[in-house]
Structure 1
Amino acid sequence: MAKFINTRKAVSEIEDLIKNAGEKLILVSPYLKLSKDFKELLTYRNSKDKITTVIFGKQALNPDEMKFLQELRFVILKFNEDLHAKCYVNDDKMVITSLNLYAFSMANNKEMGVLIDKNDSVDKQLFEDAMKEVDYINQTSQRFDFGGPKIAHSNNPTENKTNNTKQTNNKSKKTGYCIRTGIEIPFNIDKPFSYDAFKKWNEFSDPNYPEKFCHFSGEPSNGETSANKPIMKKNWKKAHEIHGL
């Protein structure tokens, strides 16, 4: 069953959660300033070509943090200005806590939280319910632009509306391919299915189920792609350059 954890235990469990993550790793933290140990963990995971999604908000990244994250090509960074939740999840475990992924908090604050294990039958439903909310936060957060304009907000509603329209138009011009059917769809690695294909996939919602096509190139992937990895490994660098992933 879910276990209570204090500050020290929370830090330790989050470290293990990152280190032992398989295909899935989502880190949700309003404030983001990584310690040396956590940078090493993310660098190690990145070297294994495994995608990590980091969702943050509330505070702009400092230049050193930005430079570090930019260099990790398998890290997807997202911004949500309304974010207050702190949650860290891999394929099997989840930590929900008051602890931000912030070096000062980990070293100085008094925090608490709970550890949930999907493989524990008592925790399974709790894990799945919490995962639905994590997925919702992920889907409603916007991809972070390291240049900054995507999270800049004007006091002029008309200007904001114009900027949003421009961004939407630009996104719509980026062509991707459904990883199940191969048909053309807007490029979005968080939504690599056509509507009909997504409805079929959603019956089981297996993020690692082998799919047939590369979302970036449209070429047959022979099972190399999945909802978790919609782009073939050989195409990731080019996709990163073109789409700013």
Structure 2
Amino acid sequence: MYKTIEFKARNELDNALAETVSHILAKAIKDTGKASIAVSGGSTPKGFFNLLSQSDIDWSKVTITLADERWVPIDSEASNTRLVYENLLQNKANTAKFFHLKQGDELTDETLADLNVAARKTLLPLDVLILGMGEDGHTASLFPCSAEINVALDETNDAVLLKVQPKTAPHQRISFTYASLITSKNIFLHSCGEAKKTVLTKALLGDDPFEMPIRAFLQHPSLNTQIFWAP
């Protein structure tokens, strides 16, 4: 299931999403003493990150991670980790903890196994998940072109994280699995621009998640994915 909220401008979307997410995180901290959030990369969330980083919550009790990451050096322009450090782990949010998906030079089976254990213990279930969406309908690093797509979208998969090697995009990736992402308590799709709205319309008109993985979130009968879109 999904709910679409459209805004007239991106700054209005950024303000609304930052306010909504900060309230969720604050409530989680009040109720459980901690909160967790997974965000996505790209240029779209920069304004949202900046506003969220100024929220007056106890950031020392928040753990931030990424829905997926490219296995590149952290100082690379392709690094989502760098994006988060430069735009979200700032201002009041500079006291938040960051769970690194990219650890070490090589994504070995041993590294992946260790990260799975740590992520399960530290992060799940996520209080907030912010998804993005590619032109091909991928989300996180659940790419329709990848050899890993079947296991990535398997709702019975007990892995938290997996390796992904997309055929239509550069870099090896590490990504949360669909099975782990759908345990999130609050799921948002953050999307901007007319091109993305065209992709979203196509996703909503079809029902094959292996063609467009974002469909798995939008059309799941018991999920409530909130779509925040602006031109």
TM-score (norm 1): 0.31
- Bigger CA radius of gyration: 1
Output the TM-score relative to the length of structure 2: 0.32
Of structures 1 and 2, the one with the larger relative CO (CA 8 A, separation 6+) is 2
